[in-house]
Amino acid sequence: MPYLTAPEELEDLLPGEPAFRANQLKQWLYQHPVLDPTEMTNLPARVREAFGSNHWPFSVEVEQSSDRGRTRKWLFRAPDGAAIETVLMGYPRRATLCISSQAGCAMRCTFCATGQFGFERHLEAGEITAQVAFAMASLSKQPMEGSPLRVSNVVFMGMGEPLANYANVRETLRRLIEVMGMSARAITVSTVGVVPGIDRLAAEPWPVTLALSLHAADDHLRQSLVPLNARYPIDDLLAAVRRFAAGKGRRVTLEWTLMDGVNDTPEQARALASIARKIRAHVNVIPMNPTPLAPQKRPPDRRIRQFVDEVRRHGANVTLRDTRGTEIDAACGQLRVRSAAASEE
């Protein structure tokens, strides 16, 4: 299981082989990932075949693409049945990969499809890193028209709460940055607000980007959407975010999933703008992706625009996230929802 072995320990998988083989294998796993080990051209067949069908730590259960191949989504399945979702989005100057850090999630945010399944297990560092390597391999095999040939940006916005799986996420960051050579700034760790995790991440050597899923500007409303708010209320979160931003010299992102009649009022927009100005954060508004089990809905387009305008008018730096891939369920645990529904039929 090459991805489940630390890159520095690959030699252990190749008993009797000269030391440089492990280095060659490391290149094929991390610098120039390939979908199939037979493409590892400078390795003898006996080395390539050593892992049999276990090159990837998961199988590909569903692969979908839309936007003329510029959005690709995979549902991977680990041998124990854990589902792992990954989405690749190509843009003119970047290729952004959205990865999962856990199978399921324990946070139970009321609007999120993943939370409705509950928590299955943490993903291992190798399972998280392999999502990036797989997407790199897919891109080099089938480039996206007008986009870079490598994954340039990674966001921990798939399934799971990355800061609740700290050790594995940390090891993934180390592999992506120090072994694959990705830019730390191009990696965004998105959290629902695990304060001790934010502080630990702040103490790491890498200038990664932090995104805080805020969604509400007061504790009462936030509590109804994000149960973890009882443990870490908004003031504590903002203090942690400030420490992170000060330590790293990085601007933090505030994420705001916009829900019809819930957090799309002018009052929330103003309060959000005031928070963002105070901590010099960038606001990212994500229109709610309706999911079968959540009561919340996406606001009408006009209201989405009004909300964004209101935040901007009050002096905050704000962007509206495009909802790439919604037609292939490429958002927020939805492919998995559909797959589970189909298997229950």
Binding of residue 131 to ligand SAH (CB under 6 A): no
Integer Cα distance of 286 and 279 in angstroms: 20
- Return the residue of 237, 286, 304, 311 that touches ligand SAH, per CB under 6 A: 286
Whichever of 255 and 310 has its CB closer to ligand SAH, that residue is 255
Binding of residue 255 to ligand SAH (CB under 6 A): yes
Integer Cα distance of 324 and 345 in angstroms: 28
282, 276 contact by CB (below 8 A): yes
Provide the minimum distance between the beta carbon of 261 and ligand SAH in the complex, in angstroms, as a whole number. Answer: 15
Among the listed ranges 28-36, 165-173, 177-185, 285-293, the one in contact with ligand SAH (CB under 6 A) is 285-293
For 342, residues 6+ apart whose C-beta sits below 8 A from its C-beta are none
Integer Cα distance of 334 and 103 in angstroms: 13
Segment (H or E) for 273: helix 266-278
* Neighbour tally for 42: CB within 10 Å: 10
Whichever of 24 and 284 has its CB closer to ligand SAH, that residue is 284
Binding residues for ligand SAH restricted to 186-225, rule: CB under 6 A: 190-192, 213
Query: Apex CA 89: angle with CA 134 and CA 299, to 5°?
Result: 135
Whichever of 112 and 136 has its CB closer to ligand SAH, that residue is 112
Binding of residue 329 to ligand SAH (CB under 6 A): no
For the annotated catalytic residues, the residue numbers are: 85, 332
Binding of residue 157 to ligand SAH (CB under 6 A): yes
- Return the residue of 78, 291, 316, 328 that touches ligand SAH, per CB under 6 A: 291
| Encoded amino acid at 271, one letter | A
| Encoded amino acid at 32, one letter | H
Among the listed ranges 3-11, 111-119, 170-178, 336-344, the one in contact with ligand SAH (CB under 6 A) is 111-119
Integer Cα distance of 240 and 256 in angstroms: 18
Segment (H or E) for 256: strand 253-258
132: helix, coil or strand? helix
Binding of residue 96 to ligand SAH (CB under 6 A): no
Binding of residue 83 to ligand SAH (CB under 6 A): no
Binding of residue 244 to ligand SAH (CB under 6 A): no
The site for ligand SAH (CB under 6 A) is made up of 109, 111-113, 156-157, 161, 190-192, 213, 255, 257, 286, 288-289, 291, 332
